[in-house]
Amino acid sequence: MTPKEMEKMIARLQSKLDHYETEWAYLDRILSECGFRKGLMSLKKTVESMIGADSDMKIDEFGF
């Protein structure tokens, strides 16, 4: 891969990261408005409590 191709790839990845960060912040704000006071973190804690401590499924499997 040439340096020019790498620069294009990096620029594309930075653009995608910006997009995902914007969407993440928007989702966090919407969840706060819907009653999850701390946004995504509140949702995570709610789901963890619903799954229960004895479940095989862990939230960290989903990247949170």
The pLDDT tens digits of the residues spanning 5-42 come to 999 999 999 999 999 999 999 999 999 999 999 999 99
62 lies in some domain: no
- Whether residue 26 lies inside any domain: the answer is yes
What's the pLDDT score for residue 50?
A: 86
Q: Indicate whether 37 belongs to any domain.
A: yes
How many domains are there within the chain? 1
Residue 58 lies in a domain: no
Q: What is the pTM of this model?
A: 0.65
On the question of pLDDT at 45 being above 70, the answer is yes
Which residues fall within 8 angstroms of residue 47, CB to CB, at 6 or more apart? 59
For residues 18 and 48, the model is more confident at 18
Q: Is residue 59 part of a domain?
A: no
| 3-state DSSP of 1-33 | CCHHHHHHHHHHHHHHHHHHHHHHHHHHHHHHH
64 in any annotated domain: no
Residue 62 has pLDDT above 60, yes or no: no
What's the pLDDT score for residue 55? 63
The CA-atom distances, in angstroms, between 10 and each of 6, 13, 16 are 6, 5, 10
Per the domain annotation, does 46 fall within a domain?
A: yes
Chain centre distance of CA 11: 21
Q: Which residues span the domain enclosing 41?
A: 3-52
10 is a domain residue: yes
